[in-house]
Amino acid sequence: MSTIPRNRREAVAEALMRLAPRLPTFEAEATIERALSSAGLRGAVPETAAWLALVAYARHVFTEYDSLLDDGYDRDSARHFVLDDLNAILSEWGCRRTVSDEPEEEEAAP
C-alpha cells in the first residue's frame, strides 16, 4: 500500500526518485527547487514537473547548451547538439526515459 504525499515538495521528490533513482542528492534538491519555483511547472502533475525540471536542470548544468545559445544558436539547434550528452547524463542517473528531437512536450524555460 502506498502512502499519499503530504505536500507538493514530497510528491515531486517521490516522482523524481522514480524517474532518476541514481540522481545525486545535490542534483535532486536543485531539480526539486526548479520544479517548485518554475511558474510553468507549478500547476503540472508531480511526475511531469519532476521530468521537465530534471531535463532542464541537466541541460543547463551538464551540457554546452547555454554556451551554444551564447554563440548565437537558436534554442532548437542548441538542444539538438546537446541531445546525446543530455541523454547520457540522464542514463547515468538511472532514467529509462530519454529526450528526443521530436517536440513532444514544451519544456519550461529556465
Between 101 and 40, the more confident residue is: 40
**Is 110 within the bounds of a domain?**
no
17 located within any domain: yes
Give the model confidence (pLDDT) of 21-78 as tens digits: 999 999 999 999 999 999 999 889 999 999 999 999 999 999 999 999 999 999 999 9
**3 assigned to some structural domain:** no
Cβ 50 vs Cβ 15: under 8 Å: yes
> Chain centroid to CA 29: how far?
12
Grid coordinates representing 57?
536542470
Domain count, the chain: 1
- The model carries a pTM of 0.86
Q: Is residue 106 part of a domain?
A: no
Does residue 107 form part of some domain? no
Phi, psi of 105 (to 5 degrees): -135, 145
63 inside domain: yes
In sequence order, the 6+-apart residues with CB closer than 8 A to the CB of 84 are: none
- Residues 84-98, mean pLDDT to the nearest whole number: 97
Within-domain flag for 98: no
Domain with 51 in it: 8-93
pLDDT at res. 62: 98
